[in-house]
């Protein structure tokens, strides 16, 4: 297996992790914003809708991260098998 494929996958996984972490932070900030708005008696419908969209995006990012982790694990197993043949 070319090292470039493995390196590419590792880079993609790192990037996916960064994006998911950033999205988690954004979701947490939006939840806090809504709590503050509720406490102040402000309407939160629009903010809650935005939170739903952010949560959906986070789920997609986490799904992508999981898929990349699975691919990386499979590639690692394949590389081990190939190294035994060489």
Looking up residue 19, the CATH number of its domain turns out to be: 1.10.287
What pLDDT is stored for residue 2 in this prediction? 60
Q: Domain range for residue 44?
A: 3-85
Q: How many domains does the chain have?
A: 1
Residue count of the chain, please give it: 86
Residue 32 has pLDDT above 70, yes or no: yes
Lowest mean pLDDT among 24-28, 42-46, 71-75: 71-75
Q: Are 44 and 34 in contact (CB under 8 A)?
A: yes
Q: What is the pTM of this model?
A: 0.83
């Amino acid at each position: 297996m070319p090292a470039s494929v493995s390196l590419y996958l590792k880079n993609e996984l790192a990037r996916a992790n960064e994006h998911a972490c950033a999205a988690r932070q954004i979701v947490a900030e939006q939840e806090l914003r809504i709590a503050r708005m509720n406490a102040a008696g402000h309407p939160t419908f629009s903010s809650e809708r935005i939170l739903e969209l952010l949560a959906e995006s986070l789920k997609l990012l986490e799904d992508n991260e999981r898929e990349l982790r699975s691919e990386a694990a499979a590639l690692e197993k394949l590389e081990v098998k190939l190294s035994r043949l060489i």
